[in-house]
Structure 1
Amino acid sequence: MREGRIFGFLVIFFAVLAMASCGGSETPPSEAVSVNTLDGRTNIAVNSVFRYTFDIPIDESTVTEDSYFIVPIPRLAQVLKADIDPALCDPANALGASLNCNTLKTCDLTPEENLDGDAQYAICLTDDIYYLLGRSFTGFMARFTTAAATVQYQVTPSGDDNIDTLNPSEAQTVNSGESVEFTVTAKDGYTVYDSVGRTCPAGSWEGNLYTTGPITEDCTVEFAAEFTANYQKIFVTNSGNTGKFAGDPNFAISNADAFCMNDSNYPGNGVYKAMIVNGVTRNACTSSNCETNGTTEHIDWVLLPDTTYVRADLTKVIGRTTDKGIFNFNIAELTNAFSDITEEIETWTGLDDEWRTVTGYTCQDWTEDDANRTGYIGLCNSKDGEAIAAFEQSCDRDNVKIVCVEQIN
């Protein structure tokens, strides 16, 4: 019997660096691990390609995945090399791998998936290759030790509706003991809370950069923001009314203001007036968007210039007025509508979409509920010019609401 056939296989033991992987196999490194020099080596990457270089040229067609393969070494078999059982190199135990003999002397073996960390394996050459090379490989047997496995966790971030950007916004995979950084910015008029909802270890802020504590398990971080800008509030009445607020036009506008103050949606404090005009006792603009004379065109007008307006419940910014004291729909839409109501809720205004009083369409200065008269209405769920001027409505319609605006006391 030829020297070395006592085993019938070439067995080369090697250790694998414990690098646990989340989500499947990793891209192999650019350089393969040389099987010829594995003796005594440790910390081999779990995504390695294993290259064996033969001493003499071979016919690559004779080297198949059944003659050059990888098998795991059970813990009980990890003994002194003198006690190695050649039966471990059974092709039935081989791991899935692809074989590429790219020269007449070199063959690369690439596992289909990352190898386990903290484990031992054997690379085996069957006896058909042994005979092909015509020499003994008994002295190539070696034993190797592995490092401990690296544990990884997921950190999942989220932000409420007032967070403008969260980067990264997807779950992050990190090694145990590492931290994760998130850049967080709030929408205009809002400030990110220093307090972070979390199951992750407590972290710290540096400007808008939040760094978690060292991660030791899967966890979450939740960012939120509060409204902090100087602002005035707006609400839409819960109750509706016809186009008649008084029999005397001198009292119609003030009665519409009282309608706001007595409505169930009134937030409980502050003075509110109705966004409704008659061109006489209340007026927004006499020119398009007050371009001619600015705020001097106002009469008892309800909006302030250069002011941020929000919903009365402080959930959404509506928009910021121009220096003319109006929202210029020719420049931009509202940030958010006066109301989140999805259906088309009508509100009396008497305005066109450039804030001028529509003469003849104010229900006779808000003193008539006659079906033969009309008043201009807005749609409180719109963000464009229809928010104040959508179409004319019959003055006898009794469920039209009012947009109410907070005043400076």
Structure 2
Amino acid sequence: MYKRMVRMISFLLALGFLSCNPVNGRDEYLLTLVNGMNPTTAVTTSFTIGTSSKINVTSASVILYFGTPQLFGFSLVSPPTANVTLAFTNSKLNAIGNLTFTPANYSTIQTITLTSNTQLMESSSLSVTATSADTNYSGVSGSITINHRNVNIVYTGSSFIFKEDDSAPTLNPVLGFPITNCSVAPALPNGLSLNTSTCVISGTPTDSQAGTTYTITATDGTNTDTENITIRITPTVYRIFITATSYDGNLQGAAANGPAGADLKCNSDANTPGTGTYKAMLTDGTNRNACSTDNCGGGAGENIDWVIQSGRIYIRANDAASLFTANASGIINAPAANMLSQSFASGTTKYFWTGFAQTNYWQEATAQTTNSCNNWTTNANTATASEGGRVGASNTTDYTAFRSGSGRSCDTFYYILCVEQ
């Protein structure tokens, strides 16, 4: 009997499934494993350690797929002298209600529903805490490992434009589950390759081609997901990026004016690509301006040292995601739901100085001189924030990508959007 008990303890310790608080020195675990993964099936046996075990659980750990809720069961090992309430905490799961066991139903398995709210492949802990007037159960706690999975493959964009004979930015997908193989159909353009273990696309495309849709398929042998992306290859593209460094409204520095100072910052930033010259996409109405009428009604003649040029194809610098092709006036007509094919950046929203008006599209905001932080030469606090410098947003595709919300005080820090020339 003693040897069997030692073997049982060793087995549970090898599982390493719970981190629990001991009641006394002889306790090994406060939560013990219920035999069988299906908590709705009657349990005929359970693994326990002596008489000190408190709570039975369905399993040592859970593999939980996003979009597929899963039941998980609990019961008490011994009858309590008062009701026992179990509470659950985990920020990666949808809210879980409490379970209450009574002296009459303590051994009956009750279930909770585990629903993942993260699409990332990561682990979290489901904390379990008991409260009761029964001192044998009061304060008992432990945790269960949740391994989150998502049968999902997502790239940083859906449409990419690569420059012919130029090393393409590596396309790294986010995978929500561990894969065993990745494939693509049809075959990628000459010079590009797919890593069949990671779904990463890389290489140097050698031939121009029109936009072509490719289906990437990722599998773990049982589960499969696909992602469609479009790849176009052209002799010339122009890159746009958001600076790694943020700045207050005084962008001039040692330069002749505010826009020129912002240009210097674009070309010395950590995010600047290794080649090309860049200018800041902002306006002060005098030294740099896109339009003097809505959407440049007078044509490109309204441009002053403007950074976007007619007919050019613009892409995100970091991943070559397609952004827009400029019209004859060096802009994209506003307003429109999808002025951009994709946002200026994926991930956390970043705001960058622009100075544009809210509804006088592509014109300088001129209600107050501080709408462009005095032509990007002052970092003074703007008493009324709404009178401060105007900004654009990195995560939108309509006109708010160029003018988002009210003004921002000129002593606050925002980024710069930089355009290749």
TM-score (normalizing by structure 2):
0.44
TM-score (normalizing by structure 1):
0.46
Indicate the structure (1 or 2) with the bigger Cα radius of gyration.
1
